[in-house]
Each structure stands twice: as structure tokens, then as C-alpha cells.
Amino acid sequence: MSDVLITIDGKQYTATEGEYVLGVARRNDIFIPALCYVTNCSPTLACRLCLVDIDGKRAYSCNARAKEGMNVITKTEEIEKERRAIMEIYDINHPLECGVCDQSGECELQNYTLHMGVDSQHHCIADTHRPTKQWGKIHYDASLCIVCERCVTVCKDMIGESALKTVPRGGAELDKTWKDKTEKDAYAMWNKLQKSIIGIASGAETLDCTQCGECTAVCPVGALVGSDFQYTSNAWELKKIPAANPHSSDCSLLYYDVKHTSTSNPEPKIYRVNSDHNYAPLHAAARYGFDFQNEVTCKDETAFARVVELLQTNVDTIVFDSYITNEEALILQKLKEKFGFKLVNEDAKAYQNFLKHFASTAGSNLYSGDLKSVSESNFVVSFGTAIKTDSPNAGYAMNNAIGMNKGAGLYFHPVADPIVSAYSKNLLSITHKIGAEEAIAYLLLDLFGDKETMPKSVVDYLTSFHTIEKKTIQESVKEDIKEMVKDEESGEEKEVVKTITKMVDKEIEVDTNALIELIGAEADLVEKITKLLDKKDSFSLIAGEDLFNHPRAENIAKLLGLIERFTAFKLLIIPSRTNTLGVSLICDLDDAKGNFSLGYNVKGDFTLSALGKGDLDMPALNQQEGTFTSMNKRVVPTNAALPFKGYCLNDIANAVGLEAEWTIDYTPYLPSEKGFKAEKFDHLPNRFENDGTENRGYALELQTFTCKDEVEPISSFTCKEGDVVYRANPVHQFSAFTNKAHQLSEAGALYASTAFLEAKSLHDGAVVTVENEAGAKLVIAVKEEKMIDGLIAYLPTFDTKIDTAPFFKEGYRFAHVVIKGVEHV
Amino acid sequence: MELKDFKQRNISPGYIFFEGEKAPETGWQAFQKVVKRTLKGELFVGLWIVFREMIRFDIHTIQYPAQKMEMSPRYRAIHRLLRLFESGSERCIGCGLCEKICISNCIRMDTHIDEKSRKVVSEYSINFGRCIFCGYCAEVCPELAIVHGVEYENASEQRAHFGLKADMLTPLDTFRANEQKEFPGFGALSDNADEAVKQTPLAY
């Protein structure tokens, strides 16, 4: 792709050849109206508002590609007339209920109607009864819908579920006489509008998708809104507080929309979560899991005095999880330096070790990719993560890459996932054996590694898996045969050429890769991958949580380091919790607990809890300001949406001798040797630029150092017979915090596929016991989970009432158990 | 207009300018002024008017509280929330325009979705400690739901006693007795409103 110069409204701009003109214009702050286009998705050409004049011809800027010397005029009298006519058509039969509509005030139909100066209506057509639909957390009011198809587009191109489609409206036929009286594009748009409406692709009664709610975010009018938010507040009353997703490591930009609770209660309340849908999608937990705040009425002085006293006397360990800010992590680290506490955080420790081993062979302390590099690549591989639930945003980036860049991808996971498999027909899902991740890493090195530069020992090891056999196969060969045919009438002899097919034995070389069998994939895997690799030139690899506590984690990390160095893959190693990356960089973590532990959001001998279940209440992440380190290796700021009336960690630290007025005073002191910058919190930006650049906080600086090449061979692993459970959360849940939110609150269960239920002859809601060899036992209900397949059920961690920890003692996400149905008496 | 235009205070003819009494220049003039004012008997001018009116028995004073003054519809007193004449339902749709336009930011409302999936206003309040009775809320209301009443007796233990939805909404018995009157005052439609509206074509 080369740079070209194009002229827009008399000014020259550089653009990448083949880029959409609308994108170039938006990047350079030139306004072209558009209702149906969503950035990073395919143009639908439903609204036709982005009509421009290109070299004297009418074109739609959302799908016109930039060419050298192109001359674009965004506004002429004719175009303005056409746009006004289009908006007038959109206003036909649109209910005049702006007074009650949730979108009023931020409605694009309102905006463009005023912008184009539509002050009277010349058209009319009989309206069709379009009933409203309640689709779970999403409310669809078909009468408000202008069928711009943004929801359909974003669901397919960004989210990857294609849960929505346009269905026939059954509306009145357009009177042909309108054609002469109406502008051309407006008429064509009307013709299409009159025929369709949005419906559920599968034909079910309610939306059977993951309900991420991105369709409600993109809807320009009030047709798709969150059911919970509906009719509770006008858009302009809400104060937008920019923050970062507190539930998972994508830390996407979101806005908490805050207003007073009610006429009689002036305390602020979060009404909904909003996002910049053009730049970054949000997953369901971020969108619906906003009210997880810890409400306290006053400062608990006795409990506070007790913590301070304990810190100075008994405490020798602080146990915590990674749902904290960078600043809090730094406070804990400073406490460690001052008092010699042990810092114990299991998941950050695993991640820290993994990165350490990764760095030893990669030569860089961090991986090179991020979500943007994933969505810009055209071959994406995911392994070691149940991507749909572990990091939905990584899944969206993967789907976006495959869909928009004519890409392809591979998804390696032992738990088959019909949602991920449905992203694209160019996505190959490989349901591999449990424990085969090491072999997969070797397979990736074998398939994609640059054998010339790779260490010889590794190349030799990889060659040892290949056996080249000579095989005889029968091949059909076409052969031309000349024949003399005698014409019966004239008696003349003619030469005729005939083609016949012959079966010929042929000897070929068949390269069998033993790794394929080792991971439990089908034999033609390499062949299929080669087919997918056609015309692919940019590669990204997503690796995740399964690997960090894998029995062979160290070696897998080193192999990933080699993959980073010797293949074209850009790596993204997804941190398992919101700020796992930040904690692993800031804190010096220890392995074992001491005698007396102070727990922060984790059960300890004395517990500080933002869930409100401990001895001293702490603010939840929507009540704190600070920064997170996201999977994009960015330090992103988050702000407090709600007040907290109790004590925070900084108060405790101040009481034992650290000095800082606010927690965010620590932001400039985050360790610079780990890549943090000495930037003050208040100077950190938190927005997307018009061209889609993520101008949020700052990017960590990578460090490079000389690296080793030593890796170990694959250690043999065996799949034991019997039941296996996987540690994962259902699609809306990440932690106890998401489960606290009123829209997401649910009871945990053993989530099992339909196939599992059939195999075990169980039914949805049946009670089972889960036992392991060590004697841990759990009685739990089974829930049918249609979003997985295969015979591995999963146990969640979001429900604090279910203690699943004894089954995953080693930290590895797969555990052997015995699952038995409980007989009802 | 520029700043100097505002400073120009020449007033067009027709005004009578009163220069005021000349200030005394000498001590003698000052003494004369004191004597003149003391002996003029201006005090009795006022007393005479009171006496004259008293013996005439032509009294303009209203005998409040036995008598009450009829206020003009354009008077802006404590607000009222009206009901629809057809159904008796509340007119307020909860559009929030009054809340938005209120310059002293004293209107708040709670809305939610009801079982018929309509937007309902569950509570509506005006903080009369802040309200400046400007009338913008009545003017902006698209449903003629909130209007200024003519009730000017606002004595109570608390200001909040007038500011809740239950206080302002026409009570059902008053409504049934046909005592709710359409509001002709501030923010009401003009008599020729129909002529001023552009009609949208209909296909029926």
C-alpha cells in the first residue's frame, strides 16, 4: 500500500491507497455526514448520506477508495439537496415521541434532521405496525428504527456473532409516482427502508447471542437501548466520567453516566455505561457490570485502627488480587520495602514468571503486539485461552481482522466453542488434547519459524517430528488418444482426437508431522493451514491464561519467546485479570504466605474488601482514581464515578508512615526501570482521536536485552480417562465484582454443553457432585451452556458461594474430577 | 452598536427634565430653607388625604383574608401539573425539558418504565427555595403539563410542602368536578396556533 495525495474541498491530504475517502476526511477533521457507517466495519451503503462528488461523479465516500490525484468535493448544492431529501424520507412516520425517547439529545436522526434543515414533510406512506421486542438486556423498538443496519454490521464485523439481520417489514409498496417527485438517492434509500426491519438471525424469539450490547451502543436512534436504562434518564442530565474497563485487561475506554439517584436522594448513581463505539467495542461485563460499588455510610475508625496496629505488629504477608490500580500496587510494594511484608498474588505471580521466561528467549521484557496489531493483521492464531470469555475484546479484534482484512485464523482450545468457530469460515477451530499447548507452540515454530535463523538445536528437534514416507497413490491422468474413425456414409477415414482418463500409480512423498498427532488434531491440519495461509502477510498470535499455570509454563513461555523472535507473529499475551500486567511489573511478588496475612480483596487473617465482605471496607474500582496497565501495554487512567466514604489503601499507608495526600500522587513514581513514565495522573489523556488513535495515558517503554535460546523438548503428557473441568467464567462474568452488578447477578453452576448433558444423561438444573482425588467435594447445579461444545464442563470463579479453588490447587485451569449425578429422593 | 452608543444618554424630546431644587449657596439661604420646610405643614397633607378617604367610605383596600385578590392568568405563582381532559391521566410525559431549561436548576424528576412499557414520572419536584418563578418551565413544556398557578399563599412550615408532584398535580376529585381549567397564561398556545403549523401529509 503506497501513500497517495487526494484533494478534499480544495486541500491536499495524504492517504493510503485503497483507504476509504470517509476515513481520510474524518482523520483530517472534515465533516461528511454518515448514518450507517461504523469505523472498522464494512460499509453498508444504507443511508447514502455520505454522498460526495469525486472527479465530477457522484460517489459514496464510505466505500470509495482513495486513488492518486482524486478530487473530492463534500458539499455542492445538488448534494445538499439530496441529503436533505434523504433526511426528510427518514422522518416519514418516525414517531414524534422525542419527549420520551431515550436517545433524545444524542440522537443522530435529530441532529441530521436539524443539520440538513428539514422543516417540512412532502412525502407520506401508510405506516406498518412494528411491535417492540424485549431481547433480554436489549430493548428493540422497531417503530423508531431507521434500518441503518449499524447493529447488523457491528455484530458481524466487530463482535463476530451475526446475531442480527434485516428481515422483511411487510410494509406498504412504494407508489411509483414518488419516483419522479423525489431525489434519486433518497428514493432508492426509501425503497429499501420500506422493505426491511431488524430481526434475529436465528429466527428465535429472543436474542441468543452473548448479549454484549454493542448494537445498543452503535444505534443512532432510540431503537436499540439497554432494557435497564430505558426511560430512567435523559441523556443530557447524565455526567460522563471517562474511565477504563475495570473487569478485564483490555481496560477499554468507557464512560460512566452519572446522575443523582432520585429527587429525594442527591447521592450520585451510575445509570449506564457508554463507549466510543467507533473506536473500541465494549464487552457485556464492562457495559452492564457498572454498579459494583462498595457503599459505606461512614469511616469505620475501630477497624482502621486495628489494621494500622496489625500492620505494625502481626502482619507479615499481604495477599491480594489484581483488581487494583497501579498506584495501589505501588503502595503495597512500598509497604513491602519499608516493613518487609511478603506480597502474595497468585495470578500476577504466574504471569510475572511467564513474562520472565518469555523475556529470556524473546529479548524483550514485553510482547510486541496489542489489540490494534491483532485487528490490523490478516492471520490470527489464538491458543491457550478460551477467548470468548477470557478476553472478549481480543476475540472481537480477531474476528475484525479475519472479517475485514480478508484474513484467516486458527483457534486452538480443548473446549470447543461454537461462537468462536462461527466468526468466519476461514477460522479453523482445533479442539486439541488437554496439556498439548507445548506441542502447539512447537508446531507454530515449525510451521511459521524462519528455519535459517532459528537455533540449530530447535530446528533439529523440530525435524525429528517429521517422517517422510514414500507412498503410492493412484492419480487420474488425462491422455489424448488419436483414433482413426471411418465415416460410414462417405467411407472416408478421419483422424479424431479423444481424451480419456486413466488411473496411474504415482509415488509421492508424504510428510507426516508427529506433532499433529501429539496435539490430537486431524491429520490434514497442515494442509488446511497452508490453504488458509494463501496471500497472508501480517500475523498475530494471542496467548492466554491456560499457559501461565500450565505444568510446562516455563518452557511454553520460552517457546513463545522464540516465536516472537523467529516468526512473523506479533504476540499478545493476555493478562488474566484487569491489572495483572501492572502488578507483575510493579510488585516484587513472593510465593508463600507467612503466618499472619492481611488480605486485600482476598481472604486473609484480616481482610480489606471492596466487595463489602471483609473486616474493613475498601473502595471498588469505580470509586477510585488511578491507572491500569492494559493488555495493550498502556498505562490508562480511570476516574472515580462514585464517592467512597470510608478509608482507602492510601489512608492506611499514610497511617503507617508513607506520605501522599492522594493515591494518584504515586502515579509519577511508578517504576521507570519497568517502562513506566514520570507522568502526573492529571496530565494523562483519556480519549480516542478522530483518526482512531488511542490517545490514552501512555505506552510502556519496552526494554530489550540479549537473550538465550535454550528450550526444553516436549515433556510427555497423558490424558487421563474421566471427567475434566475447566476453570472459566460464563460470558458475562469475570469476578465477584461483575456478579455484584444488578444486571449480571446470577448463581454459579457447573456449566456444561448439551452434548455433556446427553452423555451423562443429566438435564439443565440437575444437581451433581464434583469430586477429585484429593478429596475435595462440591455439590453444584448443572447449567446447560449452549455456547460451548464437547465434553469438558467448566467451573466458575465469580460466585463467592462456590469454592472451586480446591480443584485447581496447582493453578492449572484443567482438573481431573469425578462428576456424578445426585439422585433426588 | 459600540460601547460609545451605550454611553450616549441623549433622550429624544418629549421628556421634561427636572433639574432639582437649587442647593443653598449662602448660610442665609440655608436658614430660609429650614424655616420654609418647617412651617409649610406638609405633614398635614397626608393626614388630610387619609381623613378625606375615610369620610367618603369609598375603600379600595381588600379585606384579606376574608377577601382575596383575583390574579391575572399571566401571574407566575406556585406551579401546577395538569391532567388530560379526555382521560384524566397526567399530562407530563417526563421529557425533561423543564429540568433542562430551568435556570436555577431546581426541577428534578424520576422516571421509569411501567408495566405497559410507557414512560411514567414517578416523582417530580421543584425546589421553591431556589425557584425564581421565571416561567421558562411552563413555556418550554410541550404538553402544557406544567403551568404557573395563581396560588400566592405560600405560608407553610416547609417550602417543600408545595414542591412535590402530589402537591402540584390536579387532585382527581377536583378534576372530576370539572374544576381544572385550561391555562391561558404563560406558555399556552396562541389562539391562531393551528394556522401557524405546517401540516404533514398523511397517507390515510
Domains annotated for chain A, with CATH where assigned, are 311-349+589-671 (no CATH), 354-573 (3.40.228.10), 723-821 (2.40.40.20)
Q: How far apart are CA A421 and CA A430, in angstroms?
A: 9
d(CA A324, CA A779): 32
CA nearest neighbour of A404 among A95, A157, A680, A70: A157
**To probe the interface with A, which of B89, B93, B95, B197 has the most A CB atoms within 10 Å?**
B95
B7 falls in which pLDDT band (50, 70, 90)? Answer: low
pLDDT band for position A205 (50/70/90)?
confident
The cell 411509483 sits on which residue? A176
Which residues of chain B lie closer than 8 angstroms to A231, CB-CB? 94, 111-113, 119-120
Express the helix, strand and coil content of chain A in percent, nearest 5 each: 30, 25, 45
Task: Give the strand pairing for B107-113 and A539-543.
Answer: unpaired
The answer to whether B201 contacts A123, with C-beta atoms less than 8 Å apart, is yes
Q: Which of A121, A127, A263 sits opposite B109 (nearest CB)?
A: A263
Q: At what angle do helices A456-463 and A437-448 cross, to 10 degrees?
A: 110
Q: Distance (Å, rounded) from C-alpha A97 to C-alpha A113?
A: 15
**B111 CB near a chain A CB, below 8 Å?**
yes
Section A650-655 average pLDDT: 95
Say whether B200 and A124 touch across the interface (CB within 8 A). Answer: yes
Residue with cell 411491535: A131
Cβ-nearest to B113 among A98, A126, A231: A231
Q: How close does chain B come to A234, measured CA to CA in Å?
A: 7
| Angle at alpha carbon of residue A28, lines to A26 and A34, rounded to 5° | 20
3-state secondary structure of A322: coil
Q: Which three cell numbers stand for residue B170?
A: 390536579
Mean pLDDT of A800-816: 91
Greater confidence (A589 vs A823) lies with A589
Nearest CA distance, B15 vs chain A (angstrom): 47
- The dihedral built from the CA positions of residue A198, A202, A207 and A209, taken in this order, carries a sign that is negative
**Averaged pLDDT for residues A308-331:** 95
DSSP result, A514-546: HHHHHHT--TTHHHHHHHHTTT---EEEEE-GG
Tell me which chain B residue has its CA closest to the CA of residue A230: B113
Nearest-CA distance from B123 to chain A in Å? 7
Would you call B202 and A121 a contact, using CB atoms and an 8 Å cutoff?
A: no
Average pLDDT over residues A725-746: 94
- φ, ψ dihedrals at A783, nearest 5°: -120, 135
Reduced to 3 DSSP states, what percent helix, strand and coil does chain B have, rounded to the nearest 5? 30, 10, 60
Kind and range of the H or E run holding A86: helix A77-91
Contact across the interface for A230 and B113, Cβ inside 8 Å: yes
| Closest residue of chain A to B143, computed from CA coordinates | A99
Q: What contacts B76, CB < 8 A, 6 or more positions away?
A: B133, B134, B135, B138, B148, B186
What whole-number distance in Å separates Cα of residue A479 and Cα of residue A477?
6
CB A239, CB A257: distance < 8 Å: yes
From the list B112, B124, B201, the residue facing A231 with the nearest CB is: B112
Question: In B, residues 48-107, which contact A (CB 8 Å cutoff)?
Answer: 93-97, 99-100
% of chain B exceeding 90 in pLDDT? 35
Among A12-16, B5-9, B183-187, the minimum mean pLDDT is found in B5-9
**C-alpha to C-alpha distances, A14 to A21, A67, A279, nearest whole angstrom:** 11, 10, 21
Torsional class of A316: left (φ above 0), alpha (ψ -120 to 50), beta (otherwise): alpha
Helix axes of A346-362 and A553-566: crossing angle, nearest 10 degrees: 40
Question: Residue type for A236, please?
Answer: W
A124 and B112: CB-CB below 8 Å?
no
Residue B10: pLDDT band (50, 70, 90) is low
Q: Which amino acid is at A545?
A: E
- What are the cell numbers at A742? 444488578
- Residue identified by cell 445509570 is A271
Query: What confidence tens digit (pLDDT) does each residue in B38-97 have?
Result: 888 877 888 998 888 888 877 777 888 898 888 888 888 889 999 999 999 999 999 999
Give the residue from chain A lying closest to B106, CA to CA: A263
Query: Hey, are the CB atoms on B198 and A100 less than 8 Å from each other?
Result: no
CB-based contact A269:A412 (threshold 8 Å):
no
Q: Using an 8 Å Cβ cutoff, are A36 and A148 in contact? A: yes
Q: Identify the weakest region by mean pLDDT among A121-125, A743-747, B194-198.
A: B194-198
In this structure, the dihedral spanned by the alpha carbons of residues B140, B145, B150 and B155, taken in order and rounded to 10 degrees, is -100
pLDDT of residue B8: 62
Reported as a pLDDT band with limits 50, 70 and 90, residue B18 is: confident
**HEC profile for A701-753?**
CCCECCCCCCCCCCCCCCCCCCEEEEECCCCCCCCHHHHHCCCCCCCCCEEEC
Q: What separation, in Å, do the N-terminal and C-terminal C-alpha atoms of chain B show?
A: 53
The strand pairing partners of A133, in sequence order, are A140
> B128 — contact with chain A (CB < 8 Å)?
no
Res A361 pLDDT > 70: yes
CB A767 within 8 A of CB A802: no
Cell for A600? 486485600
Judge: B198–A132 Cβ closer than 8 Å, yes or no.
Answer: no
Question: Residue B82, Cα to own-chain centre: how many angstroms?
Answer: 18
Cβ–Cβ gap B95/A104 under 8 Å:
yes
Chain A CA closest to residue B197: A120
Q: Which of B95, B117, B120 sits opposite A99 (nearest CB)?
A: B95
Taking CB atoms and an 8 Å cutoff, what residues of chain A touch B97? 99
What pLDDT, on a 0 to 100 scale, did the predictor assign at position A825? 47
B198 contacts in chain A (CB < 8 Å) = 119-120
Residues in chain B closer than 8 A to A98 (CB atoms): 95
Residue in the block written with cell 398523511: B202
Q: Is the pLDDT assigned to residue A462 strictly greater than 50?
A: yes
Residues in chain B: 204
Q: Which residues contact B130 (CB under 8 A, 6 or more apart)?
A: B104, B105, B106
Q: Do A263 and B202 touch (CB under 8 A)?
A: no
Angstrom distance (rounded) from CA A353 to CA A347: 10
User: Do residue A263 and residue B94 have CB atoms under 8 angstroms apart?
Assistant: no
Which residues, in sequence order, are bridge partners of residue A8?
A: A11, A72
> What nine digits make up the cell of A643?
464517592
- Ordered by where they begin, the domains of chain B are 27-56 (no CATH), 79-188 (3.30.70.3270)
Q: Do A126 and B97 touch (CB under 8 A)?
A: no
Three cell numbers at A766? 440437575
How far is residue B180's CA from residue B84's CA, in Å, rounded to a whole number?
Answer: 10
Nearest residue, CB atoms, B201 vs list A104, A121, A230: A121
Instruction: Report the pLDDT averaged over residues A679-708.
Output: 91
C-alpha–C-alpha distance, residues A555 and A577, integer Å: 22
Looking at every residue in chain B, the average pLDDT score rounds to 86
Residue A2 neighbours by CB under 8 Å, 6+ apart? A16, A17
| DSSP, res A79 | H
Q: Looking at this protein, which amino acid is placed at residue A697?
A: G
Q: Which of A346-355, B14-23, B118-127, B192-201 has the lowest mean pLDDT?
A: B14-23
Residue type, A124: C
Residue A812's nearest CA partner among A718, A720, A736, A727 is A727
Please report the pLDDT score of residue B53 as a whole number. 84
Enumerate the residues of chain A whose CB falls inside 8 A of the CB of residue B118.
100
Does the CB of B179 have a partner CB in chain A at under 8 Å?
A: no
Residue A473: pLDDT over 80: no
Sign of CA pseudo-dihedral A367, A372, A376, A381: positive
Q: What number of other Cβ atoms are within 10 A of residue A543's Cβ? A: 30
Average pLDDT, chain A: 92
Please indicate whether, in this complex, the C-beta atoms of B95 and A98 are within 8 angstroms of each other: yes
What CA–CA distances, in Å, run from A548 to A413, A591, A809?
A: 15, 15, 14
Please check whether residue B202 touches A, CB under 8 A: yes
What cell does B56 get?
A: 367618603
Per-residue exposure over A470-503, b if at least 16 CB sit within 10 Å of its own CB, e if not: eeeeeeeeeeeeeeeeeeeeeeeeeeeeeeeeee
pLDDT of A48: 93
Instruction: Give the strand pairing for A253-260 and A268-274.
Output: antiparallel
CA distance B6 to B2: 7
pLDDT digits (tens, 9 = 90+) for A238-293: 999 999 999 999 999 999 999 999 998 999 999 999 999 999 899 999 999 999 99
Which chain A residues are Cβ-neighbours of B117 within 8 angstroms? 132
Give residue-wise pLDDT tens across range A508-567.
888 888 999 888 888 889 999 999 999 999 999 999 999 999 999 999 999 999 999 999
DSSP 8-state secondary structure symbol assigned to residue A135 = E
